[in-house]
Structure 1
Amino acid sequence: MADQSLPVFRDADWSAPDELIVATEHLGFVRDLIGDGVESTEADHRLGLARLVLNPATAFASLQAEVAATPGASNLSLAASPPQSGSAATAVDSVTQVAGDIRAIAAARNGGWVPTIGRNRYVVFPGSDAVGVTRETSFGVQVKALLPNTNETSFGGPGRGVGAARETSFGGGGVPMLLTDGQDWAPPRFRATGPGAGVRVGLLDTGIWPHPWLDGGWEEVMPTFGALGDGIPAGSVPGHGTFTAGLILSQAPGATVVVRRVLDGDGQGNTWDVARAIVELGQSGVSVINLSFACYTADGAAPLALVRAVQRIDRGVVVVAAAGNHNAMTAVGGVGPAKASSFADLPSWPAALGDVLAVGAVDREGRPAPFSPDRPWVDVTAPGVDLRSTYVPTHCGCSGHAPHDHAAQLSAPWAEWSGTSFATALVSGLIASGVRPNQRSATDVVAALLNPQPVLITGGVSANAWNPPRPLYPRITGWARGVR
């Protein structure tokens, strides 16, 4: 049972505090309303969206004048229904107020019509340490209070990333464990060509550390946050992309992983950058796009930028996304439309979109992983517990080992990790392994894997019935499957 004295999540807790995303065809209307409250505008014609950076106070003042001058608008604005008072509610943030006033004015003037607008939401890879009181651009200062069993070293400062309690609480999959020679572990031979030859798989993640086993199997496109190989990374976060790429190539060793770094050193990004990268890769000739990260919204609604990006990629490209590692967070309440459900109930975006293949995790016996959501929007499951893959070098900052344990493998480390991120990577690789350029597309492979059977809907079938996730069985090589 959640502590009812805790503040309630609102939209602002997962959004940039001064940014609005607007459909380009409605940009002029919105700018006219906000006036000098817009500090800068960035448009992307492929998305058909623009990102506005606001001066919230100026924007709010301009809109209040427009609300007052528009008959009926004041009855539709957020000010007409202020948030519930008391400790279980929070004030409406400025961007929520701005968006609400824009919609109120538009609806009052145009018979209920409102422009297409949204927020620039945050995304994180499941298990990242991007939640914390020290990061103003993360999830808000309320997060530490809402996450049980956490401590200061888990949230920032010199000890960031070393506390397993934080990653277990938020991420479910836990922290990576570095592997050393011996103890039932021997690094695999170098990767050979095989399934996936000629196939390109897009990977939006934290970037890739140069690793001998990955040589010839990846290329990086316009690194957003700088080259990952400029120095030994601190913390376990930068290893996420490297680990994911290794699992993709374990299934499709002949494929090429096309990397676009959209998550920073704390595993955090935003939907505007992610959406632009999805469209860029989705129109570049890739067959599969792997998205091993999550975006959550307090109202459960899909982020505008991610919806538009998935709609605008080439036909035949399959988007595969992680279902998230938040299933065990049942003690964190105050989220969802009713503000009474737990964090575990929230959909993970973009996985929950209808055009995206959402992947949950199971253990080696096929049992659902405790961190993996069991929800109707999860499409398939794959192994995601105690997997082994390529990783970053010695000073990784993760728990469970001492630096000298793997000094001999400085240039080619390996690790063991769990999470729906990695089940997703296996599924992406499995799909890529079945693609035959100019013969069989990724969508053909997915149709064959899922083999949907027609279902006759009759009056006797419950309206709440849903099909459970279909298990997929990638080829888990001896090195990829952990030994316990």
Structure 2
Amino acid sequence: MEFKLAKFEVKEILPSSTSGNDYIDWGLKAINVEEAWQKTKGKGVKVAILDTGVNANHPDLAENIKEVADFTGSKSGAEDVQGHGSHCAGIVAGVENKLGIIGVAPQAELYCGKVLGDNGSGNYDSILKGIKWAIEKGVDIISMSLGSSSKPPEEFHQLIKQAYDSNILIIAATGNENSSVCYPALYDEVVAVSAVDKSLQHANFSNHGMQNEITAPGVDIVSTYKNGGYARLSGTSMATPMVAGAAALIIARYRDLFNGATPKIRSAYEILDKMTTDLGEEGRDELYGEGIINLAMLP
């Protein structure tokens, strides 16, 4: 069984630095992240990015990366040869340093597990190992911008349930085939994320269905990339870490308000669902789920 990236395309490679300020991508603005930053920037929340590895020395990532691991046997180790994992990591927690870009939760902690090979594909065994590692590290959130249209073995679902029972919020991409929601996003224990474009319209590549739970910007998203660079990518891969970053802000804010307590998993799911602005048909629908994440609603 093969899992693939939930990335649609690379539009362009951007210069390796930008001009003296943190670039705030249109997607972050669309979910009202700057309003949330007045209350929290996600400090101390642990987010596992299970992907193609990470460019661990990237100036916009290094400070927030707490641990990396390779589960693919790549000769490059946990280094991100593909670029996809680094892009997702930057969307979640690009460092606030007046250089390059900034992530949704710029003070969150990143645990980057390489579960997809240098060609962007992988098997369920490597992803199983990555999920087990994330559980062992006690992360708060697992973000997976990957998917398979084939149903994985029951062992895979059982591990997802174990992560859920460990109070880990699991977020995954619906996929990019303009079809039905793929695994692992299809599991009830996982928040399934679809993508919208700059007009906040359903992205034409994004998978959909009533299992789709929430939507976020996923077209022409600028973030960190391999070799210290930056890129503009599209896909439900980009929408997924957007929601993972939002979840990090929610958890951090909850801890601030409730003396360090972490919300129980069901409460975290419900908070995410409620912090949305309805799009498309009234109420939950196949294209947008509950709607687009809206961090202006952060208490």
Q: Tell me if TM exceeds 0.5.
A: yes
2:235: which partner in 1? Answer: 419
1:67-466 equivalence runs, <5 A: 121-127=1-7, 173-180=8-15, 186=19, 188-189=21-22, 195-209=41-55, 210-224=57-71, 225-227=74-76, 233=81, 238-249=82-93, 250-297=103-150, 301-313=151-163, 314-327=165-178, 344-345=179-180, 347-393=181-227, 412-436=228-252, 437=255, 438-441=260-263, 443=265, 444-451=267-274
Q: Counterpart of 2:70 in structure 1: which amino acid?
A: P
* In 1: Cα distance, 2:143 partner to 2:48 partner: 6
Q: Counterpart of 2:263 in structure 1: which amino acid?
A: S
* In 2: Cα distance, 1:284 partner to 1:229 partner: 17
Equivalent residue pairs, number: 254
Deviation at 1:474, TM superposition (A): 5.6
* In 2: Cα distance, 1:389 partner to 1:214 partner: 10
Q: What SS does structure 2 have at the residue aligned with 1:290?
A: strand
Partners of 1:319 and 1:356 within 8 A in 2: yes
- Tell me: CA distance 1:370–1:284, structure 2 relative to 1, closer, same or farther (3 Å): same
- Tell me: CA distance 1:431–1:306, structure 2 relative to 1, closer, same or farther (3 Å): same
Q: Counterpart of 2:176 in structure 1: which amino acid?
A: N
* In 2: Cα distance, 1:451 partner to 1:442 partner: 15
Q: Deviations over 1:267-314 (max 9, x none)?
A: 1111122123213312421110001001121xxx45423211111124
* In 1: Cα distance, 2:235 partner to 2:11 partner: 10
Deviation at 1:126, TM superposition (A): 2.4
Partners of 1:296 and 1:348 within 8 A in 2: yes
* In 1: Cα distance, 2:270 partner to 2:107 partner: 22
Partners of 1:303 and 1:349 within 8 A in 2: no
- Tell me: CA distance 1:475–1:318, structure 2 relative to 1, closer, same or farther (3 Å): same
Q: Deviations over 1:111-161 (max 9, x none)?
A: xxxxxxxxxx2111124xxxxxxxxxxxxxxxxxxxxxxxxxxxxxxxxxx
- Tell me: CA distance 1:451–1:223, structure 2 relative to 1, closer, same or farther (3 Å): same
* In 2: Cα distance, 1:466 partner to 1:326 partner: 21
Q: Counterpart of 1:374 in structure 2: which amino acid?
A: H
In structure 2, stretches of 5+ residues that fail to align are 25-36, 94-102, 276-282
Q: What SS does structure 2 have at the residue aligned with 1:321?
A: strand
Partners of 1:363 and 1:369 within 8 A in 2: yes
* In 2: Cα distance, 1:389 partner to 1:275 partner: 27
Q: Counterpart of 2:169 in structure 1: which amino acid?
A: V
Partners of 1:201 and 1:256 within 8 A in 2: yes
In structure 1, stretches of 5+ residues that fail to align are 1-120, 128-172, 328-343, 394-411, 453-464, 477-484
* In 1: Cα distance, 2:223 partner to 2:137 partner: 27
Q: Deviations over 1:90-116 (max 9, x none)?
A: xxxxxxxxxxxxxxxxxxxxxxxxxxx
Say which structure is richer in strand.
2
- Tell me: CA distance 1:311–1:124, structure 2 relative to 1, closer, same or farther (3 Å): same
2:290: which partner in 1? Answer: 470
* In 1: Cα distance, 2:61 partner to 2:16 partner: 19
Q: What SS does structure 1 have at the residue aligned with 2:186?
A: coil
Partners of 2:10 and 2:233 within 8 A in 1: yes
Highest RCO, 1 vs 2 (Cα 8 Å, sep ≥ 6):
2
Partners of 2:195 and 2:202 within 8 A in 1: yes
- Tell me: CA distance 1:375–1:274, structure 2 relative to 1, closer, same or farther (3 Å): same
Q: Which moved more, 1:276-285 or 1:314-323?
A: 276-285
Q: Deviations over 1:62-92 (max 9, x none)?
A: xxxxxxxxxxxxxxxxxxxxxxxxxxxxxxx
* In 1: Cα distance, 2:188 partner to 2:6 partner: 21
Deviation at 1:370, TM superposition (A): 0.2
- Tell me: CA distance 1:448–1:320, structure 2 relative to 1, closer, same or farther (3 Å): same
Deviation at 1:187, TM superposition (A): 6.6
